A and B are shown apart, each in its own frame.
Chain A
Amino acid sequence: MAKADVLALVSMLSDSTSSSTQVSNYYNDVVFEMADGVFPGPSLTNASFVAVVEGTANYTYPAALVRLIAVLYDARDLVRESQRGAELFNRDWRGDFARPVAYVLNDEDLRTLSLIPVPDTSGQTIGVLTPFSATFPAENLTFIFTEERDDVHLDEELPLALEILGREWSRDSDHHDAQAAEIAKKLSGLLFGLVNRRG
């Protein structure tokens, strides 16, 4: 319900002058930016398993992932390494098979990473298990990340609505109002900073 609630709030605060289509698009943009670290956070976090296949180096991110926080192979928190660092470790790192200890973010496909060394065994079947299940399927990847989602936390709805208002009043339209936009963004910034500060 969060998105519908926020859109209704924006409509109330703008006295129904805002464009519902544009406001809905701004909602998606701002939620993505919340996950991407534009606002104080991180806020919208989740974790997901990805199945490891013997001899496969490259793994695609979970679909909702916006920013990667950590990647674990089995229980081990992998070290993020640059491609140059991987080459210093082993010039033939793409052909090295063992238990992974690090990963490299691929620059060819931005939503994949490569494990170093390449896993020499497949993980146990994940099935319906999640990182929050009591059973742990060994030798797979656990991604911890910020994600894009429909709903935000209740306390984030007001600063989110104010940020959307700021954008709606900033754009070229028959209800453009630079001064109102600036104040809406200022209030949004104060409240975002408040609710997502680390206290």
Chain B
Amino acid sequence: MATISTDTIITEVGNRLRDPNNFAHPRSNVLDILSRVQRCLSIGLRLKVAAVAFQPTAQRCLYQTTEIAADVGRVIAVRDSGRDLFEIQHTALAENNDEWLRLEGPQPEVFSSIGRDLLVIAPFQRISPPELSIVYTTQTAALVDDAANFPVIPDDAIPLLMDVTEAIFLLRGRIFTPESALPELLSRIEQGLTASIIEQDVRHGKS
């Protein structure tokens, strides 16, 4: 969780936009965009994850992510006690076994996301499947404009949060004159996102 409060961030964004009293951009609008940008960063960069106990159904491999929890962004891990299930691409399901939909086994071994809404956990158990732990990135809740309310993403993501929010409000104000902050801001956002994605990929052993 960030240590900078939401109301401080809103004030800072207002200052950057040369709108310290929020005449042009009401605080409620800035708050809404901050909440939405935080959600994008949280899901894209895995900044806020949650784990929930999930009881699979006997004789079933295919699930909707809404069955897991209401705030699922993307499933990133499935665990059976201390054992991580292997994640595979959905195209590999049929390559491994073309009857994956009704595959039965003593314990679940793999999981696969099909888009954002479907999750395969295979093989299924005929009776009493074990309770699993599902780890996912969360659709973060809307922020509150209050000194006691803090973004749920870490401090090092706050500059990116503010940059994207500022860019969106410069766009709203159509401030594109040559001296506009927007070109520099867009370049910084691209660099920030690229660096964050590379960092995430390295952390998860993808490059």
Query: A-side interface residues toward B, CB under 8 Å?
Result: 9, 12-15, 41-47, 69-70, 72, 74-77, 131-134, 136, 142, 144, 146, 153-155, 157-159, 162, 165, 177, 179-180, 183-184, 186-187, 190-191, 194-197, 199
Is the CB of B176 closer than 8 A to any CB of chain A?
yes
Is the CB of B90 closer than 8 A to any CB of chain A?
yes
CB <8 Å contact, B29 and A47: no
Look across to chain B and name the residue whose beta carbon is closest to the beta carbon of A161: B36
Please report which residues of chain B, range 35-76, place their CB below 8 angstroms from some CB of chain A when the two chains form the complex. 36-37, 39-46, 57-60, 62-64, 67, 73-74, 76
Task: Report which of A15, A42, A132, A179 forms a contact with B176, defined as CB distance below 8 A.
Answer: A179
In the complex, identify which listed stretch (B2-10, B11-19, B146-154, B186-194) lies at the interface while the others stay far away: B186-194
Please report which residues of chain B, range 158-207, place their CB below 8 angstroms from some CB of chain A when the two chains form the complex. 164, 167-168, 171-172, 174, 176, 182, 186, 189-190, 193, 197, 200-201, 204, 206
Chain B residues whose C-beta falls within 8 Å of the C-beta of A153 in the assembled complex: 73, 116, 139
CB <8 Å contact, B174 and A180: yes
Distance in Å: Cβ of A62 to nearest Cβ of chain B: 14
Q: Given A13-B168, A77-B99, A44–B116 Cβ distance below 8 Å?
A: yes
Most buried by B among A42, A43, A44: A42
**Secondary structure dominating the interface of A:** mixed
Distance in Å: Cβ of B43 to nearest Cβ of chain A: 5
Chain A residues whose C-beta falls within 8 Å of the C-beta of B201 in the assembled complex: 199
Task: Report which of A144, A158, A177, A184 forms a contact with B40, defined as CB distance below 8 A.
Answer: A158
Q: How large is the interface on B (under 10, 10 to 19, 20 to 34, 35 or more residues)?
A: 35 or more
Look across to chain A and name the residue whose beta carbon is closest to the beta carbon of B39: A155
Chain A residues whose C-beta falls within 8 Å of the C-beta of B206 in the assembled complex: 199
CB <8 Å contact, A13 and B116: no
The docked-state distance in angstroms from the alpha carbon of A131 to that of B114 is 14
Chain B residues whose C-beta falls within 8 Å of the C-beta of A197 in the assembled complex: 44, 197
CB <8 Å contact, A195 and B58: no
Q: Given A41-B115, A47-B118, A194-B44, A155–B102 Cβ distance below 8 Å?
A: no
The docked-state distance in angstroms from the alpha carbon of A82 to that of B32 is 49
CB <8 Å contact, B76 and A199: yes
Q: Given A153-B139, A199-B46, A134–B197 Cβ distance below 8 Å?
A: no
Is the CB of B143 closer than 8 A to any CB of chain A?
no
Q: Given A154-B39, A186-B186, A190-B190, A177–B174 Cβ distance below 8 Å?
A: yes
Task: Report which of B33, B102, B168 forms a contact with A75, defined as CB distance below 8 A.
Answer: B102
Chain B residues whose C-beta falls within 8 Å of the C-beta of A162 in the assembled complex: 168
Chain B residues whose C-beta falls within 8 Å of the C-beta of A136 in the assembled complex: 59-60, 102
The docked-state distance in angstroms from the alpha carbon of A144 to that of B117 is 11
Chain B residues whose C-beta falls within 8 Å of the C-beta of A199 in the assembled complex: 44-46, 74, 76, 197, 200-201, 204, 206
The docked-state distance in angstroms from the alpha carbon of A196 to that of B113 is 12
Q: Which 4 A-B pairs have the closest CB atoms?
A: A45-B115, A75-B102, A194-B44, A77-B94
Known: A47-B118, A70-B94, A199-B74. 4 other contacts (CB 8 A): A42-B115, A43-B115, A190-B190, A199-B204
Is the CB of B144 closer than 8 A to any CB of chain A?
no
